[in-house]
Amino acid sequence: MSTGPHSLFPRLLADVGGTNARFALETAPGVIEEVDVRASAQFPTLLAAARDYLRQTGAKQVAHAAIGIATAVTGDSVRMTNHSWAFSIAALKRDLGLASLVVLNDFTALAWSLPHLPSTELIQVGGGAPVSSYPMALIGPGTGLGVSGLVYGAQGPIPLSGEGGHVGFAPEDEEEVELWRFARTRFEHVSTERFLSGSGLGLIHEARLAMRGLPDAGLSAADITRQALGGQSPECMASLDRFCAILGSAAGALALTLGARGGVFIGGGIVPRLGETFVRSPFRRRFEQAGRLSGFLAAMPTYVIHSQYPGLIGAQAALAAHLREPHHA
C-alpha cells in the first residue's frame, strides 16, 4: 500500500444530526470501526465533540476527515438548521490538524452510500428490479425532510445537493387540501417538510382531529406511532397512514423528476421503525399514482434503508472520491 499522504489511516468520519452525532474511524480502506453515537447537546461545538471522540479512541495523527451534517453547506461558514452548532470549515480543519476535510449535507453523504449498501440492509417495497447506471432517488423524514439523489457521469457517481424538503406541499385529495389550509394558518410557506417530519406527523394528527371536532391531546410523533402500531388508536393509525400516503406522493414526484430507474431509497429516522405497517400502508399506491406516467413509476423499486450507519458509509465514499481513491465497500 502506498505510504503517501492520501493513504494515511485512521481517518475521521462523522454523521451529524440535530439530535445525535455519530463518529467513526476508517482504519483501513473501507474498514469503519470505533463507531460512537453521542448526544449533540452534550458538547458546545462540533470541534469539542470531535476532539473528545478522538481522545477517547486514542487516535493520533488523523490527516483526513469527512463530515455529513444536517444543514445546507454552501460555503466556509456552516450553521446547523436544528441545532446550535456553527463553525468555519477552514477553522475546523486547522484546529483538528487535518490535511483535508470534506463537509457536506447529511443527505448528500447518504446519497454517496447508495451504491454501496448491502442488499441485506434494504427492504424492497414494490416495483421491479433497478436499472444499472440510472439515477437513484433518496428521501427521508426525520427531524426534517431530507431529499437527495445520485446520478452517473463519465467519472462515476455524482450525488445531488439540494433542499427538496422545502418545496411547496402539493395536496392530492380533499383531506390534504384541508391539511394545507390548517397549516397555512401557521406558516407563510407550507412546505412538504411541514408534514413529512417528526413534528409533521404531529401536525397531521392535530389537523385531522380538528377537522372532526375532536380534542387534541398533544401527542408527540413517538406517541402517535406507538399507539398506531400497538392498535390502541384508530385515529393515530389513520394519521400515520396519511403520513405514509404523503410520503408516497413526494417520493413519486422525486422519482419522476430524476427518472430514478436505479431505485428510490427511503432513509431518515421514522420509516425504518414502521416495519410491516409501512409495507401495508398507502405509500406504494400513492407512489405509483401519476396518471399517464403510473406505469413508469410502477416499474421502479422503492427501498427502505435499514443500515445502522449509512451516513458513515457515505462519508467514507465522499472522502475517497475527494482523495481520488477507489471506494471499498
pLDDT tens, residue order, the chain (329 aa): 334 444 589 999 999 988 899 999 999 999 999 999 999 999 999 999 999 999 999 987 899 999 999 888 999 999 998 789 999 999 999 999 999 999 999 999 999 999 999 999 999 999 999 999 999 999 999 888 999 999 999 888 999 988 899 999 999 999 999 999 999 999 999 999 999 999 999 999 999 999 999 998 899 999 999 999 999 999 999 999 999 999 999 999 999 999 999 999 999 989 999 999 999 999 999 999 999 999 999 999 999 999 999 999 999 999 999 998 765 55
pLDDT of residue 4: 47
Cα-based angle 250, 129, 296 (whole degrees, multiple of 5): 50
| Binding residue ranges | 14-19
- The CATH code of domain 5-106+309-322 reads 3.30.420.40
Question: Could you tell me whether strands 136-141 and 145-153 are parallel, antiparallel, or unpaired per DSSP bridges?
Answer: antiparallel
Binding site, annotated residues for ATP: 14-19
2.60.40.1940, 3.60.15.10, 3.40.367.20, 1.20.200.10: CATH of 118-306: 3.40.367.20
Grid coordinates representing 302 are 422503492
Strands 264-266 and 20-28: unpaired
The reported pLDDT for the residue numbered 3 is 42
Q: What is the DSSP letter of 167?
A: S
Residue pair 310/122 in contact (Cβ under 8 Å)? The answer is no
Is residue 328 classed as helix, strand or coil in its secondary structure?
A: coil
d(C-alpha 139, C-alpha 122), whole Å:
14
Backbone dihedral angles phi then psi of residue 88, each to the nearest 5 degrees: -95, 130
Kindly report the pTM of this predicted structure.
0.90
- Eight-state DSSP code of residue 293: G
The per-residue pLDDT for 7 is 53
